[in-house]
Amino acid sequence: MIVNEMSSLRKASVAWEEIGEDAAGQRIDNFLLGLLKGVPKSHVYRILRSGEVRVNSGRVDATYRLRWGDRVRIPPVRRAQPVPSEKAAPKKGAPLLEGRILYEDDSLIALDKPSGWAVHGGSGIQLGIIEQLRRERPQAKFLELVHRLDRDTSGVLLVAKKRSLLVGLHARLKEGGIDKRYLVLAKGQFPDEKKVVRLPLHKFLTESGERRVTVHREGKESETVFYRKQRFTEVTLLEARLLTGRTHQIRVHLAHSGYPVAGDEKYGDFPWNRQQAKQGLKRMFLHAAVLRFTHPLTDAPLVLESPLPDDLEAYLRHLNTPDHAL
């Protein structure tokens, strides 16, 4: 146990951590940032630079990669006690995450993430998916998100139970070795049965501190393939295949192309969204439906699927009525 409570702050005495299989190969700065949650990032790097953090009694810099059996000295640190918040926390009566497992083995969990849950805490959110899973599995030595989904996006979410699995899947993500398919409802009559959208994306913060993404020539290369599945009078159901994994990629690619995601509160058509909410669409219609990849540790092919949630399925049934269907 590294920390003890002290009024509104938590303070630790010097502690030593022995590195096992899960942390082997990780950079020391990333290891500390994960271990010392609540400690400002700037302070973590300061104790590294000052030599207060030591590995096997010697000084290391932030790029040092940990080895199995290393002993890491953790100096006393103070961490802010989290302020309780109900924002994005599981609601009363909501099913526990144990009931949303699509697949599990010794190193991997695939969850069926519900809309409305952040994948991790922060920015006023105390409890996200990963924190809730750790609560439900206090005996687990290692649980880390493999990738992220937006708070309002539902569907397949991967969690690593071993660092070796996390490293392997990150390599596959970087190499494009994971086939990611989303179901998305776009406003308007999408004209093409298949369309490849290549637009560079740039992240920025608004004056109010909100994170946004825009198409910009100096942004990061981003590519999405859209397949038309069904057309209605006002909207089109698409399957989106991500060839890169940029923040808000599907949402910005569609909005920039003139077909914003139905229910999107950042990049969508706001007056039209309000009309659709009265028709039953209470959130963004974006669902991570399928992930296909080869398991990095077993080489087994995996196809992980999440069925369309009841609320989105009900809205599609509404669209299939004579007033909306083509």
Active site residue 150: yes
User: Which of 51, 42, 40 shows the shortest CA–CA distance to 75?
Assistant: 51
pLDDT tens digits for 71-119?
899 888 865 544 444 444 444 444 478 889 999 999 999 999 999 998 8
CATH 3.30.2350.10 in the chain, residues?
A: 176-319
Residues of the chain with CATH 3.10.290.10: 4-78
Phi, psi of 323 (to 5 degrees): -70, -20
Burial class of residue 166 in the structure, from the number of CB atoms within 10 Å of its CB (0-12 exposed, 13-18 middle, 19+ buried): buried
**Start-end of CATH 3.30.70 domains in the chain:** 97-160
Residue 107 Cα distances to 31, 104, 168, 178, 308, angstroms = 19, 8, 11, 17, 26
- At residue 18, the 3 state secondary structure works out as strand
Give CA–CA dist 142/15, Å, rounded: 19
**What residues of the chain score a pLDDT lower than 70?**
1-13, 20-22, 78-95, 122-126, 208-209, 322-323, 325-326
- Supply φ then ψ for residue 180, to 5 degrees: -110, 120
In angstroms, the CA 105 to CA 109 distance is 7
The residues pairing with 11 across neighbouring beta strands, listed in sequence order, are 4, 78
> β-strand 144-145 against 154-160: which pairing, if any?
antiparallel
pLDDT for residue 168: 95
Q: Where are the alpha helices (DSSP H) in 137-209?
A: 163-175
Catalytic residue among 22, 70, 150, 152: 150
- β-strands 71-74, 15-18: how paired? antiparallel
For position 126, what pLDDT does the model report? 65
Tell me the CATH number of domain 176-319, given options 3.30.2350.10, 3.40.50.300, 3.40.1190.20, 1.10.1660.10: 3.30.2350.10
CA angle 199, 201, 207 (to 5 degrees): 140
- Predicted TM-score (pTM) of this structure: 0.73
- CATH code for the part of the protein at 97-160: 3.30.70
Instruction: Record the tokens describing residue 190, joined without a space.
Output: 């999408």
Class of domain 4-78: alpha beta
Tokens of 225: 């393939």
- Give the separation between CA 260 and CA 284, rounded to whole angstroms: 10
pLDDT value of position 3: 37
Query: What integer pLDDT is reported at residue 13 of this predicted model?
Result: 67
